[in-house]
Structure 1
Amino acid sequence: MKKVLIYGINYAPELTGIGKYTGELGAWLAETGHEVEVITTFPYYPQWEVQTDFKGKLWHTHLLKGVTVHRCPFYVPKQVSAAKRIIHEFSFLLSSLVYWIPLLFKPKADVVLCVAPPFHLSFVAYLYSLLKGSLFYIHVQDLQVDAAKDLGMIKNKSLLNILFKAEKFILNKADRVSTISLAMEKKIIQKEVGENKTYVFPNWVDMEAIQPLPKSASLRKEFGLRNTDKVILYAGNLGEKQGLELIIEAAKHYQKFPHIYFVVVGSGGAKERLIEKVDADKLTNVKFFPLQKSEDMSRLLATADLHLVLQKKAAADLLLPSKLGPILAAGGCVLVTADPGTTLHNLVSDRQLGLVVEPESLSALVAGIDMALKTNLAFFQANARSYAKRHLSKKVILSAMERELLGGKLVKSVPEISTSFQPVNEVYYSG
């Protein structure tokens, strides 16, 4: 048994994104017999608003699925910008010192695991590891500084230079660095992190909780949709990295088809702008719904004939959309926007999981949707479920993480792309 201290800005009961996975990791480690403590915030993502049950609380400790969770008050901006995000992240760092300082006078953790982003939290975890003699691990869900640069969120070259140097420093100080895709691991190694201490653990899926369902068991009735309608679903974070305006532009093209609907489920900084655009264009074939309960995930995913997974060109290989795993587990067919050579493109195309089109191209997206609507997708759907069962199983990946990070000799035993499927000719549209 190991004593594990996890530090991250997102944690359960957040339903999506990093908090979902960190929460499941903490609960798994506790269930397998480890003593787990977490220093985190109050759940706020992806709505960017503290959940009702936690509003008004200050520093607060409670037990959640066998994990001792220390929660800290922090600043949550209503409108997210680069500057406000920095303040948001640093407010948590400062607030969390209320827990870090007393921990210096308690028995040490065997392992302190920092989940990034934000990457600068790792400096506090590193200082603790120096003072207490703990192993220091970083798990990277998103290459935050690279994304901020490539997406134009931070344009000041001097600031970017400082951030890249700080990131390189802290990654090299970690005893182990894990991430969620082979492409992200490659980028981490390019920051002069030793290849012998980097590992890939993809985001997983609970294969028992998410099952393929017929349309009759889906949320179509609740959403005001008929079983005969064609439904194109985007479910997840409504942020700036996805280029979601393309969904609205594509919906204009299908406005004349009364049986085709675009359904957008989720929350995020871009949601209000998207709704305003739909209203301005008087579109009746776009429906917005909030995040659904985790127990309704299978029903939600069964609502779709086609699932959209969109990313901007600049975000390629800086993150891997976490929404992909549940879609595959539900036996859904995906239409992704990704350039050839990127992890997302190679995964979907080579493993026959769906269609791939050029990112940030309306004509390519519409061509891909047209193809999907005219195609029997059963082949892709069967491949999706099979791939998820073999390679994204929660039990397989978390067992590997627990074994490799806490149990001794490390072996790169969880490859992101490894199947017995034979590659086929890709479907790639460029507009």
Structure 2
Amino acid sequence: MRILIYGINYSPELTGIGKYTGEMGEWLAGNKQEVDVITAMPYYPEWAVHASHKRKGWHTEYIDGVRVHRCPLYVPTRVTSLKRILHEFSFVVSSLWYWLRVFFGKRYDVVICISPPFHLGLIPAIYSRLRKVPFWCHIQDLQIDMAKDLGMITNRTFLNTMFKVESYILKRCSAISTISEGMLQKVKLKNGAGSKCVLFPNWVDSTHIKPVPKPHSMRAELGLLDSDRVILYSGSLGEKQGLEIIIAAAQSFAQQPDIKFLIVGSGGGKTKLEATVREYGLTNVVFHPLQPYEKLSALLGTADIHLVLQKKSASDLVLPSKLTGILAAGGCALVSAVPGTTLYDVVHRHEMGILIEPESAQALEVAIEQALSMDLSPYHTNARWYAETYLNKETTLNKFIGELRKITGEPRPLPLLVDL
């Protein structure tokens, strides 16, 4: 198949949507598909264009067998709702340089749009209609719902306009996929079952990310002792996680020097968190940048307890991608989730983490204290089993390419006949 992927985030971004889209492109190319990508300069989660791509304009590069067309865009140093809107629209406009060639160039067998930003689907929808090409929309976050529920956008007229644009896009898809059952049900309601809806969860390479004993973890490199009890948050430091409660919890353990809070990552909320730590004079909270993928197992092995936090209003609108790595590493996570949501139900059913009330520093403090005094080995075992059973990368992507073949009409490859 000739596949075009359109999204604002792509490899070499280490976390979030870019990580998964990059791995998907690499896997498709490795399975003999011709893959082109139209994307932005890498900037996430630091919200700064990576040094490798600074001062570059439109250009094409090859990553793991994929032809990647890069577009410049506006990246704000301080992310606000308005600046984020400008940031996303700057990419849409910038990407027209390549889309004009696509409209009048070769015909792809399918175009895959990665959302958010939700409005990226407008151009693929038009291309799909004019060139009679199947259009697949993959939704990683329900962006408008989240912006509304988190109070990031309050103008009702603007919200209604965005929902109408989203509806226009979804009704013109050949297929829509998303990453959790809860999100899938919401998409079906938005779509009115007009397009095929598919569950396409985030995956993990459990052969690469696996349990690592403390002596082989990053404890020594990060200045930690084997006797330290480490609470780790690793990932994007943004608005939807509600990370302020980590600092509040750290205050309650300030008199226990062996309990360390490790915050690893970047994002729009990092500066505020660092300022709060300085204001309170906390020495038990340490910040580190994101680590390379090859060090991820060692980083995750550093923790006694992992934190997977999000706000109540983000429940079932996002499924934290960081959880997949924690499960593959056999970690025990404290997960903030509301009963009845996909995240809560999955963690509870498989007993692979400790559930806590979202946005409650007191609930987090109590859970940390209890977890540090418990035998966590059942959680370690269940987490690793779940990752190997349900989040297998090869299985997930094989199902995905099978669905792609259905909407493109491409026959499945015949099995090889071997003379015995």
* TM superposition score normalised by structure 1: 0.93
Deviation at 1:102, TM superposition (A): 1.1
Name the amino acid aligned to 1:178: S
Task: State how far apart, in whole Å, the 2-side matches of 1:336 and 1:286 are.
Answer: 20
Task: State how far apart, in whole Å, the 1-side matches of 2:106 and 2:295 are.
Answer: 41
Task: State how far apart, in whole Å, the 1-side matches of 2:168 and 2:408 are.
Answer: 25
Moved more, 401-410 or 352-361: 401-410
Q: What do residues 324-367 of structure 1 show as CA deviations (whole Å, max 9, x unaligned)?
A: 00000000001011111111111111110010011111111111
Task: State how far apart, in whole Å, the 2-side matches of 1:170 and 1:120 are.
Answer: 8
Task: State how far apart, in whole Å, the 2-side matches of 1:130 and 1:65 are.
Answer: 30
Count how many residue pairs are aligned between Structure 1 and Structure 2: 409
Deviation at 1:408, TM superposition (A): 5.8
Task: State how far apart, in whole Å, the 1-side matches of 2:113 and 2:192 are.
Answer: 16
Report what 2:184 is aligned to.
185
Q: How is 1:42-191 mapped onto 2 (pairs within 5 angstroms)?
A: 42-191=41-190
Q: What do residues 276-304 of structure 1 show as CA deviations (whole Å, max 9, x unaligned)?
A: 10011000100100000100000000000
Task: State how far apart, in whole Å, the 2-side matches of 1:287 and 1:311 are.
Answer: 20
Task: State how far apart, in whole Å, the 1-side matches of 2:311 and 2:145 are.
Answer: 14
Deviation at 1:192, TM superposition (A): 3.4
Report what 2:324 is aligned to.
325
Report what 2:8 is aligned to.
9
Task: State how far apart, in whole Å, the 1-side matches of 2:47 and 2:321 are.
Answer: 18
Structure 2, unaligned stretches of length 5 or more? Answer: 410-420
| Matched-pair contact (CA < 8 Å) for 1:185–1:200 | yes
Query: Secondary structure of 1:159's match?
Result: helix
| Matched-pair contact (CA < 8 Å) for 1:59–1:71 | yes
Deviation at 1:406, TM superposition (A): 2.5
Task: State how far apart, in whole Å, the 2-side matches of 1:409 and 1:125 are.
Answer: 15
Query: Secondary structure of 1:160's match?
Result: helix
Task: State how far apart, in whole Å, the 2-side matches of 1:306 and 1:262 are.
Answer: 10
Name the amino acid aligned to 2:358: P
Query: Secondary structure of 1:173's match?
Result: coil
Query: Secondary structure of 2:191's match?
Result: coil
| Matched-pair contact (CA < 8 Å) for 2:134–2:408 | no
| Matched-pair contact (CA < 8 Å) for 1:171–1:193 | no
Task: State how far apart, in whole Å, the 2-side matches of 1:48 and 1:192 are.
Answer: 32
The answer to whether 1:301 aligns with 2:296 is no
The answer to whether 1:291 aligns with 2:278 is no
Name the amino acid aligned to 2:132: G
Deviation at 1:193, TM superposition (A): 3.3
| Matched-pair contact (CA < 8 Å) for 1:77–1:88 | yes
Deviant stretches of 4+, over 4 Å: 407-410
Structure 1, unaligned stretches of length 5 or more? Answer: 411-431
Q: What do residues 154-178 of structure 1 show as CA deviations (whole Å, max 9, x unaligned)?
A: 0000100111111111111101000
Q: How is 1:16-415 mapped onto 2 (pairs within 5 angstroms)?
A: 16-194=15-193, 197-407=196-406
Task: State how far apart, in whole Å, the 1-side matches of 2:158 and 2:104 are.
Answer: 35
Name the amino acid aligned to 2:117: P
Query: Secondary structure of 1:62's match?
Result: strand
Deviation at 1:247, TM superposition (A): 0.1
Name the amino acid aligned to 1:78: T
| Matched-pair contact (CA < 8 Å) for 2:176–2:195 | no
RMSD: 1.1
